[in-house]
Amino acid sequence: MRRLLMPGGMILLILAAALAAPVLPLPAPLAMDIMHRLAPPSVAHWLGTDEFGRDELSRLIWGARASLAVAGGSTAIAAAIGTSLGVIGGYLRGLPAFLAIRAMDVVLCFPPLLLAVLIVTLVGPGIVTLIVALSILFLPGFTRLAYAGVLQTRNLDYVEAQRVLGAGRARIMLRTILPNIAGPILVQASLTAAAAVVLEAGLSFLGLGVVPPTPSWGLMVRSAREVMGQAPLLLLWPCLALSLTILALNLLCDRLRDALDPQTAPRRRRRTMAAARPLAGAAATDGDATLLAVDGLTVEIATPRGPIRPVRDVSFSLGAGETLAIVGESGSGKSVTGLALLGLLPGAARVSHGAAVYAGTTDLLRCQEASLRALRGSHLAMVFQDPMSALNPVHRVGDQIAEAILAHARLDAKAVRARVVALLRRVGIPAPVARARAFPHEMSGGMRQRAMIAMAIAAGPRLLIADEPTTALDVTIEAQVLDLLAALQRSEGLGMIFITHSLPVVARIADRVAVMYAGEVLEQGPVAEIFARPLHPYTRALLDSMVPEGDGAEAGLPAGIAGNVPSLLDLPPGCSFAPRCALRRPACETLRLPLNEVAPGRFSRCPYGREIAAMAAPIPAARA
């Protein structure tokens, strides 16, 4: 809202000057002094005098009245009538909608200036004519906006509810629909006001607008143009006044749009894609079998309220041919972990600590972008959650797979095509030759994810990160895709990091599992052991909240845990799960423990693991 101050203030200032013109100590805007025509700026006439010796400053300020009257008047009328037409047309549909929208098409088909010229010639020039002409010109914008808005709104639940409750049509339109489309209408209004100022000036410039001697900026430009050789400054003032007013209105429109729609707000941030990352903590180098060793990975995002760390001190290792599942609720940092390993963090985020040593030699977190790029696809690959958005809609699937191959190998077109087809066949896509020529939107969800997987394995990676690859799919397809991944992993000897929020999926696919909560790994170990004997209260709570087997998609959601995931801006000082933990002790709220190896191959941050394991019955819900 603060960003609205500047343009809003400018407009208020212009408005105030225009309104106060009669009381300001200005020379009369119509008083002529032919003897002193075209005088340069002086104490008596700050901006000089025009071709009739009239005070330029006075005329400039009085001229604002014409501009603002036309802008305000036409915008208000167009907004009122246009919006009503759109709302009525959109809500009633059928014939009213047809008539409203077609009439607007006719208006749109006219060059705006011609329409204005015709109306002005028909009615005769003057401020009222201008307001009428411009209102007609601006109608379509509002009508279309309102129409589209209503179409979007009218089927929403609460509008439906109003109708069921028996609210009258007029009432629904006024009370429910209108407030919902008010935002865009407001933006359109400020845009329209700016356009009105331009058109008023343009028409007055052509002699079709304001009638002299009433001062108007357009008229002033016109007459200044005739004495351009003698008094060039006279041209400058009205041009400046015009441009500043329009600038203020345009800025207001921009800022209003930003305020109403945070998505389009300018993102001021620096990308650190290729920058060498500052690292603390030594890289751990494990044995030869280790494909990836992550140690102390911490990701930081700078926000206006200070940095937040969606991933903190995450460590795990993964052997070739092994599948590690990272499980957690949304916002637990599991996806960010995956993206950080590939150097694909969004712009605002950066790795602040840690190491991730790939194949015992390369620290992925310290790699230059160029060498990391060489690894992506060919060594490390990723399968994303929603294949519809992860695939480029405008390129054929086959081409997108080919791109993954060609990013790392020089092959002729024929060989690439053959490989693409082979890959598609490999992931179980029927008729792969034809499918390679399909666009993503022409495939089913499961088929798209198979294509996505084909793309991931296209350049023969050794490590595959699958980020919730089955979330967008229904259960049957989910099973097929999981089988496919498992089969691929076995046959290729891939190391796989499988990111999911679903415990049944973990049980089905993973060798080991890391449980993440609020950016930290709370427990890590072999799947079978953890499922049988969780050593962290959170893991336990997760397992307890699992609905008995076979109950579809709801399974695995830790709906049973009371309380909320803590905000990353306001993490508890001790154990991050402590506020929700039924077993918390006073120490839990102050003491922050590292991930300790509490049993061979078993890691947990909770020191009370044995007690949890000993409990047979579900842990009672914490008293908030």
Partner 1 sequence: MAWVLRRIGASLLLVWVVVTVVFMAIHLVPGDPAELLLSQGGSAPDPAAVAALRGQLGLDRPLLAQYGSDLVGLLHGDLGLSLQDQSPVAADIAQRLPRTIELLCAASILALGFGVPLGTLAGIAPGGMLDRAGAAVSALLLSVPVFVVGTLLVLVFAEQLGWADAGGFVPIDRSLAGHFAHLAMPALTIALGLGAMLYRITRAAVLDVALRDYVRTARAKGVAPRRILWRHVLRNALSPVVTVFGLQFGALIGGTVLVEYVFNYPGLSGLLVDAVNARDYPLVQGIVLVISVLFVAINLTLDLLYAALDPRVRGR
Partner 2 sequence: MRLVRRSFLAGAAAGAALPFLSIPGRAAAKPGTLVFGLSSYPPSLLPWVQAGTAAGTVNLCVHRGLTSYAPDGTLRGELAEKFDHDDKNGWTFHLRKAVFHDGSPVTSADVKWTLEQVAAAGSTAYMAPQFRGVAAIETPDAATVRIVMKEPTATLPLWLAQYEMPIVAHGTGIAGKPAIGCGPFTIAAQDHGVSVTLKAFPHFYRPGLPKLETLRMVAYADETARVAALRTGDVDIIEYVPWNAMAAIEANPKLALQTTNGPFMYLTFNGSFKPFADARVRRAIALGVKREDIVKAVFFGRGSPLGGMPIPPGTPFYDAKLANGWTYDPTEAKKLLAEAGYAQGFSCTLLATAQYSMHMQTAVLVQQNLAALGIQVQLALPDWATRVALGNRGQYQFAVGGTSADSNDPDGLSAIIDSSLAPSVARSYDLPVPKIAALFAQGRAEFDPAKRRAIYDQLQRVLLAEAPMVSLAWRSQGYGLSRKVSGFYDMPGALTFFSGTTLEQTSIA
Using the rule CB under 8 A, give the single segment among 90-98, 205-213, 279-287, 431-439 that binds partner 2: 205-213
**Closest approach of partner 1 to the CB of residue 385, in Å:** 8
- Beta-carbon-side half-sphere exposure of residue 546 (alpha carbons within 13 Å): 18
Is 212 one of the binding residues for partner 2 (CB under 8 A)?
yes
Token pair 């602040």 is found at 352
Bridge partners of residue 144, in order along the sequence: none
Residues 257, 178: Cα–Cα separation, whole Å: 18
Using the rule CB under 8 A, give the single segment among 125-133, 176-184, 338-346, 471-479 that binds partner 1: 338-346
Residues 32, 567: Cα–Cα separation, whole Å: 70
Interacting partner of 207 out of partner 1, partner 2, none (Cβ under 5 to 8 A depending on kind): partner 2
Is 29 one of the binding residues for partner 2 (CB under 8 A)?
no
Is 563 one of the binding residues for partner 2 (CB under 8 A)?
no
> Cβ distance 467 to 425 under 8 Å?
no
Tell me, residue by residue from 220 to 239, as one string, x for binding to partner 2 by CB under 8 A and - for no binding.
--xx-xxxxxx---------
Interacting partner of 386 out of partner 2, partner 1, none (Cβ under 5 to 8 A depending on kind): partner 1
| Beta-carbon contacts of residue 112 (< 8 Å; ≥ 6 apart) | 137, 199
**Closest approach of partner 2 to the CB of residue 37, in Å:** 6
Residue 142, phi-psi category: left (phi > 0), alpha (psi -120 to 50), beta (remainder):
alpha
Interacting partner of 223 out of partner 1, partner 2, none (Cβ under 5 to 8 A depending on kind): partner 2
Out of 160, 261, 442, 597, point to the residue binding partner 1 (CB under 8 A).
Answer: 442
Token pair 């629904």 is found at 172
Out of 15, 148, 167, 211, point to the residue binding partner 2 (CB under 8 A).
Answer: 211
Is 32 one of the binding residues for partner 2 (CB under 8 A)?
yes
> Burial of 84 by CB count in 10 Å (0-12 exposed, 13-18 middle, 19+ buried)?
middle
**Closest approach of partner 2 to the CB of residue 223, in Å:** 7
| H or E segment and range at residue 327 | strand 323-327
Out of 168, 213, 347, 601, point to the residue binding partner 2 (CB under 8 A).
Answer: 213
**Closest approach of partner 2 to the CB of residue 222, in Å:** 8
Size of the site for partner 2 (CB under 8 A): 23
Residue 556, phi-psi category: left (phi > 0), alpha (psi -120 to 50), beta (remainder):
left
Is 40 one of the binding residues for partner 1 (CB under 8 A)?
no
Give residues 383-402 in contact with partner 1 (rule: CB under 8 A). 384, 386, 389-395
Token pair 């499961």 is found at 446
Give residues 88-107 in contact with partner 1 (rule: CB under 8 A). 102, 105-106
Is 444 one of the binding residues for partner 1 (CB under 8 A)?
no
Decide whether 35 or 164 has the Cβ nearer to partner 2.
Answer: 35
Q: Would you give the end-to-end CA distance of the chain in angstroms?
A: 37
Report CA dihedral (85, 89, 92, 98) to the nearest 10 degrees.
140
Is 271 one of the binding residues for partner 1 (CB under 8 A)?
yes
Token pair 């839990």 is found at 588
Using the rule CB under 8 A, give the single segment among 53-61, 79-87, 115-123, 608-616 that binds partner 1: 115-123
Decide whether 162 or 250 has the Cβ nearer to partner 1.
Answer: 250
Alpha-carbon distance values, 601 to 30, 290, 339, 525, 535 (Å): 93, 14, 26, 6, 12
Out of 1, 23, 35, 114, point to the residue binding partner 1 (CB under 8 A).
Answer: 114
Residues 477, 86: Cα–Cα separation, whole Å: 44
Decide whether 49 or 385 has the Cβ nearer to partner 2.
Answer: 49
| H or E segment and range at residue 178 | helix 178-205
Q: From 503, 485, 533, select the one nearest 325 (Cα to Cα).
A: 503
No. of H helices and E strands in the chain?
22, 12
**Closest approach of partner 1 to the CB of residue 62, in Å:** 19
**Closest approach of partner 1 to the CB of residue 355, in Å:** 21
Decide whether 125 or 519 has the Cβ nearer to partner 2.
Answer: 125
Q: Is 318 helix (H, G, I), strand (E, B) or coil?
A: strand
Residues lying near partner 2 in the complex (CB under 8 A): 30, 32, 34, 37, 51-53, 121, 124-125, 207-208, 211-213, 222-223, 225-230
